[in-house]
Amino acid sequence: MKRTIAIVGGGDTSEYHVSLRSAQGIYSFIDKEQYTLYIVVMHGLDWHVQLPDGTELPVDRNDFSFILDGQKVTFDFAYITIHGTPGEDGRLQGYFDMMGIPYSCCGVLAAALTYDKFTCNQYLKAFGVRIAESLLLRQGQSVSDEDVLEKIGLPCFIKPSLGGSSFGVTKVKTKEQIQPAIAKAFEEAQEVLVEAFMDGTEITCGCYKTKDKSVVFPITEVVTHNEYFDYDAKYNGQVDEITPARIADSIRDRVQALTSAIYDILGAYGIIRVDYIITAGDKINLLEVNTTPGMTTTSFIPQQVRAAGLEIKDVMRDIIENRFND
């Protein structure tokens, strides 16, 4: 009998529409001969199943079910592809834990930790991972221009410590840009990160593990056409994404080993993607960890899966079935 899978997208941040695109990507990747698939869209308290004909059916949040043609449909598995809250910060994972429904990504603690860029980077720093110098501001806190110049320097990045897709991010080059950039970042989240600029080669590496295999994907080199890897570069094609990356084999091996180690340190599950900057002296610097990475047909992970000579439907099956292979 086919397992019934909920592909969960949407969410409550600016990444809502990006998440829906990832949900469509996941829908196209999973083998429909093996699984029955439904896309579940969440926005606030509006949870509904989106049928292929455009019909929307409400989800009962008491047991995560819906009614189709008079019959109650329950889910065997949830593939979470919400970028942002509640799917990337551990809240939805806690709900599914209470419902007893297995899901595709890491649990509550790892999700909450990785969603907060500052906290995650400081945590991994304790394990010897290199990170940029940074300052954290919480809602109601402020920092003077002089402190930013002295402690971080220019240029720097000012961005939400929570969230993704480059919403609320500013590359700051002058003193006059600091406070407006902080205000812009606070419009996206209640925590803001002021982070030193690192000049180098930007790369990203995906990884997933099951009970019987560890897969680290080929590395992608990210060459943006813009000032930095912003929203337009990510989603409107203003970037060159080169897989495998044009880096020395020795650096490749170190990055892949570090990605695998980060996966284990965090207690991750499913697919993660780790972003880095390679600076002078072949230093590997962590940018951030993504535990629900973008999964559109042109996203990094599908590119890396193809470069590895793998089939994306097999990767999806690995992640789903691993939860049932106890």
Q: Mean pLDDT score of the chain, rounded to an integer?
A: 92
Q: Are residues 124 and 252 in the same domain?
A: yes
Q: Are residues 116 and 265 in the same domain?
A: yes
Last residue of a domain, one of 147, 168, 196: 196
Q: Are residues 41 and 140 in the same domain?
A: no
Residue 239 in this model has a pLDDT that exceeds 80 = no
Q: Which domain holds residue 126?
A: 112-130+199-322
| Range 172-193 average pLDDT | 90
Number of domain units in the chain: 3
Q: pTM for this one?
A: 0.90
Q: Are residues 122 and 148 in the same domain?
A: no
Determine the straight-line distance between the first and last CA of the chain, rounded to whole angstroms.
19
Residue 60 in this model has a pLDDT that exceeds 80 = yes
Q: Are residues 168 and 63 in the same domain?
A: no
pLDDT digits (tens, 9 = 90+) for 250-309: 999 999 999 999 999 999 999 999 999 999 999 999 999 999 999 988 889 999 999 999
Q: Are residues 118 and 83 in the same domain?
A: no
Q: Are residues 192 and 203 in the same domain?
A: no
pLDDT digits (tens, 9 = 90+) for 72-129: 999 999 999 999 899 999 999 999 999 999 999 999 999 999 998 889 999 999 999 9
Last residue of a domain, one of 196, 216, 241: 196
Q: Are residues 203 and 266 in the same domain?
A: yes
Q: Are residues 204 and 278 in the same domain?
A: yes
For residue 284, the cross-strand partners are 278
Q: Quick one: which of 264, 275, 272 has its CA closest to 319? A: 272
Q: Are residues 126 and 44 in the same domain?
A: no
Using 50, 70 and 90 to split pLDDT, how confident is the model at 69?
A: very high
Using 50, 70 and 90 to split pLDDT, how confident is the model at 238?
A: low
Q: Which pLDDT does position 227 carry in this prediction? A: 61
Domain CATH for 217:
3.30.470.20
Joined tokens for residue 287: 């940018």
Residue 132 in this model has a pLDDT that exceeds 60 = yes
Q: Which pLDDT does position 297 carry in this prediction? A: 81
Q: Are residues 139 and 121 in the same domain?
A: no
Q: Quick one: which of 307, 308, 284, 304 has its CA closest to 294? A: 304
Q: Are residues 79 and 163 in the same domain?
A: no
Last residue of a domain, one of 196, 223, 249: 196
What would you report as the CA-atom Rg of the chain, rounded to the nearest whole angstrom?
A: 20
Domain CATH for 147:
3.30.1490.20
Q: Which pLDDT does position 234 carry in this prediction? A: 47
Joined tokens for residue 76: 């065997």
Residue 237 in this model has a pLDDT that exceeds 70 = no
The answer to whether 159 and 168 are in contact (CB under 8 A) is yes
Say how far apart CA 288 and CA 248 lie, in whole Å. 22
Q: Quick one: which of 9, 299, 292, 20 has its CA closest to 163? A: 292
